[in-house]
Amino acid sequence: MPEQTDITGGASTAGGASTAPPAVRVQGLWKRFGDQVAVSGIDLELPAGKFIGLVGPNGAGKTTTLSMVTGLLRPDMGSIEVGGHDVWRDPVAVKARIGVLPEGLRLFERLSGRELLAYTGRLRGLPGVEVDKRTTQLLDVLDLAGAQHKLVVDYSTGMRKKIGLAAALLHNPEVLFLDEPFEGVDPVSAQTIRGVLERYTRSGATVVFSSHVMELVESLCDWVAVMAAGRIRARGTLAEVRGDAPSLQDAFLELVGAGARDTGQSLDWLGGAR
């Protein structure tokens, strides 16, 4: 594997002399599962107010990293701050400021979509009238109004993503973490989600999302971190990470060392005489 490439100096210098504190600051973060090192001592600063993509091949450590950053998984070592608050020492302050759409999202299945949002809003401490208003608007925008009284257990994969996203946005968090938010979502809904997220970042909020779909990351994100084998291989603005490569996909393949990989030529029996 190539050595880690730190393309920029990090959030404080990315794109100029911004002095805004980073949305997320990770220092010396480690996580092992038995002999498997999932996250290998990463340092990372994610700039506030950006649409940030966390990309990497299968098993790179993206979900493990996002789980630790959002307080769902305890690191073996290292520190994590969101908006200047330590995720593990000050969990209430952090959880009030973030929204999370995790991988393998678990929802209260026996509630309807509307009940789920009402419950989430009250848990977040929002007044009932405000929860009601935001719920109606989110259900409408995400095209779930027609299914609002259906039990979540009967929702399709894409509908579950959308109701999960609505629940994560309801309290208007400062930072929104999304693990593969577009997986299983149809193109029309994907366009809607995109619009919602773009509006949200324009207001100064930060979106951090993981994805394997480079075209999507390239078209949505203004800042990217590339992970492979538990390490950060590159980080910076889209242009910085792409460098001279014709596309983010090409830059990605080079960064994760996929160029030399057997792309199926060794399967000489496949498609041969039967």
Ligand X SMILES: Nc1ncnc2c1ncn2[C@@H]1O[C@H](COP(=O)(O)OP(=O)(O)OP(=O)(O)O)[C@@H](O)[C@H]1O
Tell me the window of 57-65, 114-122, 233-241, 255-263 that interacts with ligand X (CB under 6 A). 57-65
Q: Under 8 Å CB-to-CB from 192, ≥6 apart: which residues?
A: 141, 142, 143
| Closest distance to ligand X from the beta carbon of 187 (Å) | 22
Which one, 38 or 98, has the nearer CB to ligand X?
38
What is the closest distance, in whole angstroms, from the C-beta atom of residue 249 to ligand X in the complex? 16
Name the one range near ligand X by CB under 6 A: 60-68, 78-86, 138-146, 253-261. Answer: 60-68
CB under 8 Å to 28, separation ≥6 — which residues? 41, 42, 43, 77, 78, 79
Q: Report if residue 33 touches ligand X, rule: CB under 6 A.
A: yes
Q: Which stretch binds ligand X (CB under 6 A): 21-29, 61-69, 188-196, 217-225?
A: 61-69
In whole angstroms, the minimum distance from the beta carbon of 67 to ligand X comes to 8
Candidate list 61, 99, 113, 181; residue touching ligand X; CB under 6 A:
61
Please identify, among the stretches 1-9, 31-39, 184-192, 257-265, the one whose residues bind ligand X according to the rule CB under 6 A: 31-39
Would you give the DSSP letter of residue 141? Answer: H
Alpha helices in the chain (DSSP H): 62-69, 91-97, 113-123, 128-141, 157-169, 187-202, 214-220, 238-242, 248-255
Two tokens, residue 260: 């030399």
Using CB under 6 A, pick the residue from 23, 47, 52, 62 that binds ligand X. 62
Q: Measured from the CB atom, is 73 or 111 closer to ligand X?
A: 73
Distance CA(232)–CA(63), nearest Å, equals 13
Compute the least distance from the CB of residue 48 to ligand X, in Å: 24
Q: Does residue 59 interact with ligand X by CB under 6 A? A: yes
Helix (H, G, I), strand (E, B) or coil at 96: helix
Query: Which 34-53 residues touch ligand X, going by CB under 6 A?
Result: 36, 38
> Is the distance from CB of 137 to CB of 124 less than 8 angstroms?
no
In the structure encoding, which two tokens stand for residue 152, read together? 């979540």
- Asked if residue 64 binds ligand X (CB under 6 A), the reply is yes
- 25 with 225: CB under 8 angstroms? no
To ligand X, the closest distance from the beta carbon of 12 in angstroms equals: 26
Among 11, 55, 63, 176, binds ligand X (CB under 6 A): 63
CB-nearer residue toward ligand X: 64 or 135: 64
- Shortest Å, Cβ 59 to ligand X: 4
d(CA 213, CA 208) in angstroms, rounded, equals 14
Q: Write the DSSP assignment of 179-223 as a string of letters.
A: ESTTTT--HHHHHHHHHHHHHHHHTT-EEEEEES-HHHHHHH-SE
Chain positions contacting ligand X, by CB under 6 A: 33, 36, 38, 56, 58-64
